[in-house]
Amino acid sequence: MDDTYIKDEMESDLGVAPTDLMVQVQVPETPRKRGRKRGSEIPGTPTPVKKTKATPEKGTPKKGATRPIPASFEEAGPEDRLLIQMKDKENKTWAEIREAWESLTGLQVGGSTLQVRYARLKANFFTWTAQDEASLLEAKKEIDEKMEQERWHRIADAIETKSGNKFPAAAVQKKFKELSKRSCTFASILREDDDA
């Protein structure tokens, strides 16, 4: 059909020209995030300047901030030495330690801040000998082996719970390795097909 035919038909049926029926629709603008125009968008308005926070002098800790953790007891300040003494030697409560810390430093600290600091101090202050390091590596290896065995026993128990079939831990471990190898091979075949 021809557009002129449709216009003529509408005019004859309704007695109104199609252009008279057209309504101008004004689409609203999507509001800005804060619903206001920026100063730079309004002519003659200066752009607002963002307020900056006053920074404390260099070396001055921020409110509630603690000092860096020292690497050794010799580097520790009086507040850290007090913390170690009150916890290790005097066996004081954390509330008592916090009160003494705040009066010494003038800083207020959160609930677990000093407990975490104490643990980190103790970890930094411990001295390791060559024999201790060797013992650490040996103990880690032994524990890892025991945990690996325990892991496969637990997996075998879980399989028995789920399916009712009982398998030895060594068989479960062997089958898992086979399945892993098979899935890796299958995945590489799929990758080759995708590359081709």
Q: What is the mean pLDDT of each run of 10 residues along the chain (196 residues)?
A: 53 54 59 60 63 55 65 85 88 89 85 87 86 93 92 93 91 89 74 68
The per-residue pLDDT for 73 is: 81
Please indicate, yes or no, if residue 112 is contained in any of the structural domains.
Answer: yes
Please indicate, yes or no, if residue 155 is contained in any of the structural domains.
Answer: yes
Q: Which residue, 96, 125, 154, sits at the end of a domain? A: 125
> Treating both helix axes as pointing N-terminal to C-terminal, what angle do 169-195 and 130-163 enclose, rounded to 10 degrees?
90
The per-residue pLDDT for 110 is: 83
Task: Please tell me the total count of domains within the chain.
Answer: 2
Please indicate, yes or no, if residue 36 is contained in any of the structural domains.
Answer: no
* pTM for this model (two decimals): 0.43
Please indicate, yes or no, if residue 67 is contained in any of the structural domains.
Answer: no
Q: ∠ CA(161), CA(166), CA(171), 5° rounding? A: 120
Please indicate, yes or no, if residue 53 is contained in any of the structural domains.
Answer: no
Q: Which domain holds residue 116?
A: 78-125
The per-residue pLDDT for 135 is: 94
| Residue entry with tokens 């025991």 | 146
The per-residue pLDDT for 105 is: 84
The per-residue pLDDT for 144 is: 93
Question: What secondary structure does DSSP assign to 121-173, as a single string?
Answer: HHHHHPPPPHHHHHHHHHHHHHHHHHHHHHHHHHHHHHHHHHHS----HHHHH
